[in-house]
Structures are given as structure tokens and as C-alpha cells.
Structure 1
Amino acid sequence: MCGRFTFQPNDNDEINKIYQLAVENGYEPKTGEIFPTDQTAIVRSGTNQVQVVTMKWGFPGFKQGQNVINARSETIMQKPMFAESFMNRRCVYPTTGFFEWSDDKVKHRFNYGSDPETLYIAGCYKNFDGEPHSVLLTTAPNDSMIKIHDRMPLILQKTQIKSWIYDQKFAIEFLNSPMPMLESVPFNN
């Protein structure tokens, strides 16, 4: 599961460019630590190219006030809540890392290294009452994650973003891809 991530435009030039594109498109993505239900920057399909917008993180759940923030890549095509969105409306979360908590309640920040590098997470979205909501995809953890948590985000390389968004065959095949090795740093906050 991925329950929090960061979007730090002041600490990362690539994220700053994504943030500026969102602002130029009339959006105000939340920055810093991103929580479920926050309006976060999302890369999705546009008319002729990808575009940066904001969306609420999480689909409304089955109970009042419930928020579903993640979808399992292994079962996404079988789950009625996600299947149609995955097949038709894929998106990408640009982040500067994500957080997980170990069994002993220690918060860990994950990224490629100790700096807030750009880390792209696969997602999909759907409109609820005219407002777009998104979920990110998770997969089985690799060796860099397994000691902390039993799930990890489905991570894309920058060169895979357009394929994820526009190429259904690529997206289906990518669901089973091995994830990159990440570094974990205990985070006191």
C-alpha cells in the first residue's frame, strides 16, 4: 500500500516544471507531503499530448467517508471498481518519493537515492459527480521494500509515461514488470 507521497517542486527541477505546467493549465496542486483526498498533480492524456492537471487522490468507497486510494496491479482488470478506468483512463503520479510504515511504526521514505528524485507512479482515474478522482497502482514488493511493507507502488520510468497512458497493450504487460530497487530512509516527521 502507498498511503503518502511527496511532491516537492522547490527541491526538484523536473517536479518544478510539472508543477508550473499544472499552474499554467489553471490548477493548483498541493505540494509537500500528499495525503489521500488531496488535489495532486497528475499526468494524463490530452488532445495531442500528455497534460498536467490535478485530481483528488482516491475513489469514493462503498461506505460513507471511505476513500480507496490504491488498486492492486494483479487484480485491477477483474475488479469492477477499477477495470474500466484502467483500460480507458490511465494516468501517472509525479512524485519525489513515497512513505511506508514498518511493523514497528517507523515511517520510511522511499526513492532511488537520498535526494528527492522524480519517481513516477502508475495510476488510473474516473469521474465521480463530475469530478476526476485517481488511484495509484501497487504491486508485490521487491527486495528493497519487502522488509518494510508487503506492497509497493507500480513505478514507471520517465520514458514509459506515454506508453502507459496511450498504449493499452503496454499497460497490461507492464502490470507484471519487476520494480526498480529503491533506498529507504527512516523519516522523522
Structure 2
Amino acid sequence: MCGRFLLNSDIEEVFRRYYIRNQGIINYAKGDFYPSSHIPIVLENGERTMKFAKWGFYFSGRKGAVINARAESIKYKQMFRDSFYSARCLIPANMFYEWKDEGNKRKAKYKIGLQDNNLFSLGGIYKVSLDENLKEQMTVVIITTESEGNMKDIHSRMPLIVKDNEMDLWLNGNSSIKYVEEVLKSNINNKLIIERCETEKAKSDDSEKHEQLRLF
């Protein structure tokens, strides 16, 4: 599961890293980003750009939002299928967070980054839908895979990290789906930095305030 991440890089660094020429947004507030907030995403629709998207796909008539999509089933689930084929994006991040259940109603918070890449990309999909006021809004979910390495000791899931040499393939809507699926399977051999932050009462972390059904 991925329910919070940190983006602390200057926007100019992000523009350079992703070769963004069409600047859909001119700045963002650096820091932690949460479900239901508007997060910066990189997409390609004729040209590379960065926009804000609300984190979470919403059900009609149901409370809460789905914030993650499982890589193993993303192309089969009606909620995600069309976006997976034609509306993939990247979410720039410096760190993501996870909580480990230590029992006794306590959770330990960890922050996770990459040893060799201070600014990296989480894989996501987006769509444009209508909000409660019937206005168009862009929404996004972050893709998760099974955890690898030391992450397994913290949580069974982790966000998909799209490597730098996979970014163009991932963003291009004309890429062969065969190769896109290979990206979903490439979330291995990441050199992770895992740092314990704090222990807190297991009331519920921010991501748990949002409906995250197991079938996704």
C-alpha cells in the first residue's frame, strides 16, 4: 500500500528531470502529500507536462476513495483498465512512507527512498471524471506491487518504482502493452533506504481514512 509520499525537490529540478516543456503548473507546496489532496503528476499527451490530480478514484454513491491499484490485476479491473492502457503517469517523489504493525496497538512509521536516486518516479494511472458538482476533475491512483527485500518486513505491498530508462515507454500511450506489463514486473532490485521514524498508536494512518478495498 502507498498512502503518503514526500516531494521536496524544487520544481525546476523536476522540470529538468522529466524534460517538461509545457508547464501545466508553475509551482507546488513542497512536503508530504496525502490521499484526497491534489498531487503533481507527469503525463504525456502530445507533449510532456505536469499537472495536479486529486489522489483517489471515487465510487459513485460510496464514501471514500481507492488510492492504489494492484499491478497484478490492473488490466482486468473495470475501474482501472482503460487508464492503464491509455492514461499512465508518473508521480515524482523523494520518499514514500509505510507503517509496520508492531502489535499491542502500536505502529512504527518508516520512510523509504532510493540509495542512488534522490528524485524517483512512482507509477500511476489517471482519468478525468465529474466531481460532486458535475465539474471535470483529474484523479490519480498509485500502482502497487508485492514488496521486495527489506520492505517485506514492513508491509506486503510497495509502490511501483518506474526506473529512469522506463519512463518514456511508460508515459507513451502508443507503447506496446507487452512492454508496459514488463515495467509492472520490474519492481525488483531497488536499492532502498529504509529509515524508522517513530512509533505511534495504531489508530489509523492517513491512508486508512480512505476506502481501500482489498480486491484492488
What is the Cα deviation at residue 24 of structure 1?
A: 4.2
> What value does the CA root-mean-square deviation take over the aligned residues?
2.6
List alignment gaps of at least 5 residues for structure 2.
131-135, 200-216
Q: Rate the CA distance shift 1:63–1:145 in 2: closer, same or farther, 3 A.
A: farther
Q: Which segment drifts farther, 63-72 or 90-99? A: 63-72
What is the Cα deviation at residue 61 of structure 1?
A: 3.2
CA contact (8 A) 1:7 1:15 kept: no
C-alpha distance in 2, partners of 1:37/1:72? 19
C-alpha distance in 2, partners of 1:79/1:147? 28
What is the Cα deviation at residue 28 of structure 1?
A: 4.6
Residue equivalent to 2:169: 163
Residue equivalent to 1:175: 184
Counterpart residue type for residue 5 of structure 1: F
CA contact (8 A) 1:29 1:39 kept: no
Q: Percent identity?
A: 31
Any idea what SS the aligned residue of 1:146 has? helix
Any idea what SS the aligned residue of 2:186 has? coil
| Deviation string, structure 1 residues 44-103 (Cα, Å, up to 9, x no partner) | 0131x3211111111113553311110000000111110111011000000011000011
Q: With structure 1 as the length reference, what TM-score do the two structures score?
A: 0.87
Select the residue among 87, 94, 97 that pairs with 2:95.
97
Select the residue among 57, 70, 73 that pairs with 1:72.
70
1:57 aligns with 2:55: yes
What is the Cα deviation at residue 18 of structure 1?
A: 6.7
C-alpha distance in 1, partners of 2:89/2:179? 13
Any idea what SS the aligned residue of 2:77 has? coil
Number of aligned residues:
185
CA contact (8 A) 1:28 1:54 kept: no
What is the Cα deviation at residue 158 of structure 1?
A: 1.9
Q: Rate the CA distance shift 1:176–1:82 in 2: closer, same or farther, 3 A.
A: same
CA contact (8 A) 2:23 2:49 kept: no
C-alpha distance in 2, partners of 1:65/1:22? 37
List alignment gaps of at least 5 residues for structure 1.
none
Matches within 5 A, 1:1-189: 1-10=1-10, 14-15=13-14, 17=16, 24-26=23-25, 28-47=27-46, 49-61=47-59, 64-104=62-102, 105-113=107-115, 117-129=118-130, 130-166=136-172, 167=175, 168-179=177-188, 180-188=190-198
C-alpha distance in 2, partners of 1:134/1:122? 10
Residue equivalent to 2:207: none
Any idea what SS the aligned residue of 2:149 has? coil
C-alpha distance in 2, partners of 1:22/1:4? 27
Any idea what SS the aligned residue of 1:42 has? strand
CA contact (8 A) 2:145 2:187 kept: no
CA contact (8 A) 2:143 2:159 kept: yes
Any idea what SS the aligned residue of 1:102 has? strand
Q: Which has the larger radius of gyration?
A: 2
CA contact (8 A) 2:162 2:187 kept: no
